[in-house]
Amino acid sequence: MAFDHSTTGPGKRIVVWVQHRADRPYLSLEWLDPDTGKRKSKSAETCNPIDAERKRADLEADLNHGRYVEASRMTWERFGELFEAEYVAPLRQNTRRNFEATLDHFEQICNPRSIGAINERTISLYAAGLRKLPGRGRKGELMMPSTIKVRLQYLHTALSWAVSQKLLAAVPRFPAVKVPSRRPSPSPPSRSRR
């Protein structure tokens, strides 16, 4: 069956086809981007034509119903530059410092290569890594749960911005951090005047 791949344009149905490439171990799924007209491809992750056809049909449905979002190949470093310039720059100095500390810790713990590679597993590793970092309190004390919760909130904000800019498909699920309630400290006894 021959497909007319030249008719794809904005508002037209996207047609996906299975392509065999001799230099690749798997079949590939290919289509024309309706916005740019450029050919796109994705590995079918199989060399079985029946399995590839199933994946082709699923991908075509996802593309035509807006469910498919490609993982961004933007580097984490480039994302950091954009986020700092476009989102963080106009904020108050203390807020800027918190974003900087959050993203620095994220880089140290997770060493992300691209924004599109960040998922639930990455966030879980980050939270676990924060629990091992020294806190600002007494020597030998680890980072407090309240600080970890704040760092995760700042990272969530950064990733939400990435989603709003279409740099990331969705914000990964974040772990809940339980912060122990503080016990009220006793107030010093009041002295009555005589």
Tens digit of pLDDT per residue, the chain (194 long)? 344 444 444 568 899 999 999 888 899 999 998 877 889 888 998 999 999 999 999 989 888 877 666 667 788 999 999 999 999 999 999 999 999 999 999 999 999 999 988 999 999 999 999 999 887 766 778 888 999 999 999 999 999 999 888 888 889 999 988 887 776 666 667 666 55
The secondary structure of 137-162 as a DSSP string is SSTTPBPPHHHHHHHHHHHHHHHHHH
Q: Are residues 58 and 80 in the same domain?
A: no
Q: Are residues 85 and 157 in the same domain?
A: yes
Question: What does the pLDDT read at residue 2?
Answer: 41
Length of the chain: 194
- Whether residue 192 is contained in a domain is answered as no
Structural domains of the chain, count: 2
**What residues does 18 pair with on adjacent strands?**
29
- Whether residue 193 is contained in a domain is answered as no
72 to 75, 93, 115, 160, 185: CA distances (angstroms): 8, 30, 6, 14, 49
Q: Are residues 29 and 87 in the same domain?
A: no
Q: Are residues 89 and 117 in the same domain?
A: yes
- Whether residue 171 is contained in a domain is answered as no
Please name the residue ranges forming H helices in 93-191.
93-110, 120-130, 145-164
Distance CA(18)–CA(60), nearest Å, equals 11
Q: Are residues 88 and 160 in the same domain?
A: yes
pTM, two decimals, is: 0.62
**Exposed, middle or buried, 74 (CB in 10 Å: 0-12/13-18/19+)?**
middle
Residue that finishes a domain, picked among 39, 64, 89: 64
Considering only CA atoms, which of 49, 4, 11 is closest in space to residue 31? 4
Q: Are residues 18 and 49 in the same domain?
A: yes
Q: Are residues 83 and 146 in the same domain?
A: yes
- Whether residue 177 is contained in a domain is answered as no
Q: Are residues 99 and 52 in the same domain?
A: no
- Whether residue 40 is contained in a domain is answered as yes
Distance CA(194)–CA(108), nearest Å, equals 61
Question: What does the pLDDT read at residue 63?
Answer: 85
Q: Are residues 101 and 135 in the same domain?
A: yes
Domain that holds residue 22: 5-64
Angle between helices 76-83 and 93-110 (to 10 degrees): 170
Q: Are residues 44 and 15 in the same domain?
A: yes
Residue that finishes a domain, picked among 64, 94, 111: 64
- Whether residue 184 is contained in a domain is answered as no
Q: Are residues 90 and 22 in the same domain?
A: no
Question: What does the pLDDT read at residue 192?
Answer: 60
CB 145 within 8 A of CB 177: yes
